[in-house]
């Protein structure tokens, strides 16, 4: 129910108009909210770098980075623990498994109790 910032077409040919937010110099675009939502309810959303640069996702302090789906509800997670020499934890939901596949088609599966490796 907040205010809407939108682009407006001035002709029938202007159907897909971006909204650009450009800070001065090396300034940042700051979204001061606990949650930032991307996309709409009817389509998948993608975060990408603008050009050939690397897209980096990081926390603003000494906190872990957690990736999850479904707004964190009934979701497995990938947790990158903050600090030197800390672990990356892959946690499946329920009886789900963690599958890792490579060019030689090796796979690693875990149900939380046992680790099974196959090549």
What are the tokens at 14?
């202007």
d(CA 64, CA 59): 7
Burial class (CB within 10 angstroms; exposed 0-12, middle 13-18, buried 19+) of 97: middle
Average of per-residue pLDDT values in the chain: 79
Q: For a pLDDT cut of 70, what percent of the chain falls above it?
A: 83
pLDDT at 25: 94
Summarised one tens digit per residue, pLDDT across range 34-56 is: 888 888 778 788 888 887 888 88
Largest CA distance in the chain: 61
pLDDT at 24: 95
Summarised one tens digit per residue, pLDDT across range 81-114 is: 888 788 888 888 888 887 766 555 555 555 555 5
Q: Identify the residue with better confidence: 115 or 41.
A: 41
């Amino acid at each position: 129910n907040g205010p809407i910032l939108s682009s407006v077409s001035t002709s029938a040919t202007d159907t897909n108009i971006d909204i650009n937010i450009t800070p001065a110099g090396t300034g940042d675009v700051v979204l001061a909210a606990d949650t930032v939502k991307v996309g709409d309810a009817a389509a998948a959303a993608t975060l990408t770098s603008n050009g050939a640069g690397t897209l980096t996702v990081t926390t603003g302090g000494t906190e872990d980075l957690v990736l999850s789906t479904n707004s964190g509800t009934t979701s497995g997670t990938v947790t990158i623990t903050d600090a030197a020499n800390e672990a990356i934890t892959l946690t499946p939901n329920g009886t789900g498994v963690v599958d890792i596949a490579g060019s030689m088609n090796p796979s690693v599966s875990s149900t939380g109790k046992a680790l099974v490796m196959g090549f």
